[in-house]
């Protein structure tokens, strides 16, 4: 969805600029993804315990938070084009936060089964 909006509204050079501005987050996400794969391979034949059971955030809260950020971005990033340029960062941050939570869960499982 983001790609369709970007290609229909922004030029290729603007899209490249948006992606290259987030290179640090993309590098962190790549490293964290490799750590996640490492733990996933180490715990390959083990049933994973979900240590993040109490971390349920409602969809209504998430959508409300996203809408607040959209209004703030519209105001501070000079309109619609500035607002949609932030979508890529939100997407990367969402993947990064999911990877952090999942990797921590795999790390806790690794420590749990290592001490068992």
- Looking up tokens 């979508």 gives 87
Question: Which backbone phi and psi does 45 adopt, to 5 degrees?
Answer: -105, 25
Record the tokens describing residue 21, joined without a space: 């501005």
Interval 105-112 mean pLDDT: 93
The pLDDT tens digits of the residues spanning 52-88 come to 877 677 778 888 888 888 888 888 888 888 888 888 8
Give dist(CA 65, CA 103) in Å, integer: 24
Confidence band of 37 (pLDDT split at 50, 70, 90): very high
Q: What is the pLDDT of residue 35?
A: 97
CB contact set of 7 (below 8 Å; sequence gap of 6+): 15
pTM to 2 decimal places: 0.78
pLDDT band at 90; cut points 50, 70, 90: confident
Amino acid 96: pLDDT: 92
Q: CA geometry: angle at 86 spanning 80 and 90, to 5°?
A: 135
d(CA 43, CA 45): 6
pLDDT greater than 80 at residue 2: no
* Contact indicator for 33, 100 with CB cutoff of 8 Å: no
In this prediction, residue 55 carries a pLDDT of 66
| 3-class DSSP state of 77 | coil
């Amino acid at each position: 969805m983001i790609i369709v909006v970007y290609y229909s509204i922004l030029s290729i050079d603007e899209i490249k600029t948006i992606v290259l501005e987030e290179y640090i987050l993309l590098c962190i996400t790549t490293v964290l993804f490799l750590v996640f794969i490492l733990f996933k391979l180490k715990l390959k034949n083990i049933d994973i315990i979900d240590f993040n059971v109490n971390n349920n955030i409602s969809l209504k809260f998430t959508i409300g938070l996203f809408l607040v950020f959209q209004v703030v971005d519209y105001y501070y990033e000079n309109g619609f084009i500035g607002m949609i340029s932030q979508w890529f960062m939100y997407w990367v941050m969402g993947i990064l936060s999911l990877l952090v939570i999942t990797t921590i869960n795999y790390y806790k499982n690794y420590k749990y089964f290592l001490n068992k």
